[in-house]
């Protein structure tokens, strides 16, 4: 990636986990009305107990939480934030891209406010054309509420959080890809040195 070649980011390992037809269950901590949900803890066990150990075994990773992040978009943004909050010993960085923060009503905001831990670095973003003309304000409000919850409980000095509103951006892969460089710079540019 050009940011690494330009010395704007340290080298890093990215692992992509494909989603499945059951992503609404896998990526959410609770059901949403009649929608299936609540499998985020099981998905987290899969990532933490199976995927991460294999990556750490096979590659020259820096396995501590300060050098380990999780990033997802939409429902993947929800599960990424959930795992960062529930497992700070594993994930010190979270990319919560265009989160479907409405899922489960106030659950994501409540959990974030109650369980955010010092040392966490979180990126949250949202596009101004997400949710359609009638839903943009609600979509932005829900994402911003999660961001504000990170700053609750006097964590402002201890939780490094960024909230970006992307003018004209839709809820799609093209918009998310355009924000990846800024997300990576926020999460990785101030990485602590690797322990010797």
Give the pLDDT confidence score for residue 146 in this predicted structure.
94
- Which domains does the chain carry? 64-188 (3.40.50.1820)
- What does pLDDT average to in each consecutive run of 10 residues of the chain (196 residues)? 76 93 94 92 98 97 96 97 96 97 93 88 95 85 94 67 95 96 91 54
Distance CA 92, CA 87 (A): 9
What confidence tens digit (pLDDT) does each residue in 47-59 have?
999 999 999 999 9
pTM above 0.85, yes or no: yes
What confidence tens digit (pLDDT) does each residue in 56-98 have?
999 999 999 999 999 999 999 999 999 999 999 999 999 999 9
Using alpha carbons only, what angle is made at residue 6 by residues 160 and 81, rounded to the nearest 5 degrees? Answer: 25
Separation in Å, CA 48 to CA 45, 59, 77, 94:
5, 16, 17, 15
């Amino acid at each position: 990636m050009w940011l690494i070649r330009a010395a704007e980011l340290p080298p890093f390992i990215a692992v992509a986990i494909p989603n499945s037809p059951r992503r609404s269950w896998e990526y959410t901590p609770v059901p949403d009305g009649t929608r299936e949900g609540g499998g985020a803890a099981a998905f987290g066990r899969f990532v933490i107990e199976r995927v991460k150990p294999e990556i750490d075994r096979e590659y020259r990773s820096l396995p501590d939480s300060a050098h380990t992040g999780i990033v997802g978009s939409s429902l993947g943004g929800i599960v990424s934030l959930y795992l960062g909050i529930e497992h700070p010993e594993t994930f010190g960085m979270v990319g919560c891209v265009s989160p479907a923060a409405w899922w489960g009503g106030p659950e994501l905001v409540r959990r974030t406010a109650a369980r955010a831990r010092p040392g966490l670095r979180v990126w949250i973003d949202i596009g101004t054309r997400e949710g359609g003309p009638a839903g943009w304000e609600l979509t932005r409000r829900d994402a911003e509420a999660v961001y504000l919850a990170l700053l609750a409980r006097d964590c402002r000095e201890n939780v490094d959080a960024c909230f970006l509103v992307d003018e004209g951006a839709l809820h799609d892969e093209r918009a998310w890809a355009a924000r990846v460089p800024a997300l990576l710079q926020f999460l990785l540019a101030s990485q602590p040195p690797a322990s010797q």
